[in-house]
């Protein structure tokens, strides 16, 4: 409210931001306010919502340093800062925004998309391809485990990268024994297998739904981004389904496909698959 929002707007955008929902009473979303201060305030709270709430509780109750000792939180922060920096440079160079506006748009869009909030303070559908690639990349990552964010979650990406790194070293040194550690604890093999299976299924659902949309006549860019943005519960995609567009033009069958994606992405893949097993219904 101190930044210029009415009480109603402040409440609705606060709830939508902290829940990583991204809904706004305005068609133009956050762009309707044309306020850098509002964008920076929302960016902070969206960032908070995208991290692990259990970690916040432990940091408050036990030791505040736990927040910065947590491996996932450090990677989460590093990714946001890294992508924000890259996008700022691209916007400054290619879009000829001022350095301030380049940073302003970059930090808001990267934080909003990566945490699956989906707010937009500018139509990034009009940006250059290199800028849109960065936005697309963070769509796959998501927020932290235990957050209100969507996507695949950072902890899975982190452990998957550690697993790939270990397998590469084992290829070079076949007798190497190197346990994968997360927050100074060894990760069991069955957990790694579960994460690997999750990622494979997640990517398969993404590819399959994108292919189905192309068969319905949707262009490839719209299909790919619609698939990943709904699977990650983000909201805006690119091309036909950009931040200032919507899914109204999509055929009913296409909407059913994307509804399924949102359902799978929100409940998580394994939960949905269990519903289709006979053992679940017998028990």
Instruction: For residue range 17-74, list pLDDT tens digits in order.
Output: 998 888 888 888 899 898 999 999 999 999 999 999 999 999 999 988 899 899 999 9
- Are 213 and 227 in contact by the 8 Å Cβ rule? The answer is yes
In degrees and rounded to multiples of 5, residue 181 shows phi and psi of -115, 145
What span, in angstroms and rounded, lies between the C-alpha atoms of 228 and 96?
A: 29
* pLDDT (0 to 100) of residue 2: 66
Q: 3-class DSSP state for residue 163?
A: helix
Element (H, E) at 182: strand 181-182
pLDDT at 3 over 80: no
Of residues 2 and 85, which shows the higher confidence score? Answer: 85
* pLDDT (0 to 100) of residue 43: 96
Using DSSP bridges, classify how beta strands 181-182 and 185-186 pair: parallel, antiparallel or unpaired. antiparallel
- Are 31 and 13 in contact by the 8 Å Cβ rule? The answer is no
Q: What is the pLDDT of residues 252-276, one digit of tens each?
A: 999 999 999 999 998 888 888 788 7
Alpha helices in the chain (DSSP H): 7-18, 36-49, 53-61, 66-69, 71-90, 99-114, 129-139, 154-172, 189-215, 220-231, 252-267, 269-275, 278-282
- Are 156 and 144 in contact by the 8 Å Cβ rule? The answer is no
Q: What is the pLDDT of residues 157-174, one digit of tens each?
A: 999 999 999 988 888 888
Size of the chain, expressed as the number of residues it contains: 283
- Are 145 and 161 in contact by the 8 Å Cβ rule? The answer is no
CA 24 to chain CA centroid, nearest Å:
18
R_g of the chain, CA atoms, integer Å? 20
Q: pTM score, two decimals?
A: 0.92
């Amino acid at each position: 409210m101190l930044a210029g929002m009415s009480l109603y707007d402040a409440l609705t955008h606060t709830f939508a931001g902290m829940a990583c929902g991204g809904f706004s009473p305005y068609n133009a979303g956050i762009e309707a306010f044309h306020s850098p201060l509002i964008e920076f305030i929302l960016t902070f709270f969206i960032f908070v919502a995208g991290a692990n709430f259990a970690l916040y509780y432990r940091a408050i109750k036990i030791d505040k340093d736990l927040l910065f000792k947590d491996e996932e939180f450090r990677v989460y922060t590093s990714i946001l800062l890294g992508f924000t920096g890259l996008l700022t440079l691209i916007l400054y160079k290619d879009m000829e925004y001022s350095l301030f506006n380049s940073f302003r748009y970059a930090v808001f869009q990267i934080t909003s998309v990566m945490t699956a909030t989906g707010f937009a303070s500018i139509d990034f559908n009009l940006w250059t391809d290199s800028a849109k690639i960065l936005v697309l990349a963070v769509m796959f990552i998501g927020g932290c485990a235990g957050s209100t964010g969507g996507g695949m979650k950072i902890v899975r990406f982190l452990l998957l990268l550690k697993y790939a790194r270990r397998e590469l070293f084992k290829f070079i040194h076949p007798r190497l024994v190197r346990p994968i550690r997360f927050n100074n604890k060894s990760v069991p093999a069955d957990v790694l297998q579960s994460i690997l299976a999750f990622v494979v299924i997640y990517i398969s659902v993404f590819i399959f739904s994108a292919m189905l949309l192309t068969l319905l006549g949707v262009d490839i860019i719209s299909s790919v981004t619609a698939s990943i943005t709904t699977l990650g519960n983000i909201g805006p995609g690119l091309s036909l389904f950009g931040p200032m567009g919507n899914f109204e033009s999509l055929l009913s069958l296409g909407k059913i496909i994307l509804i399924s994606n949102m359902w799978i992405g929100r409940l998580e893949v394994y939960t949905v698959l269990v519903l289709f097993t006979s053992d679940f219904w017998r028990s």
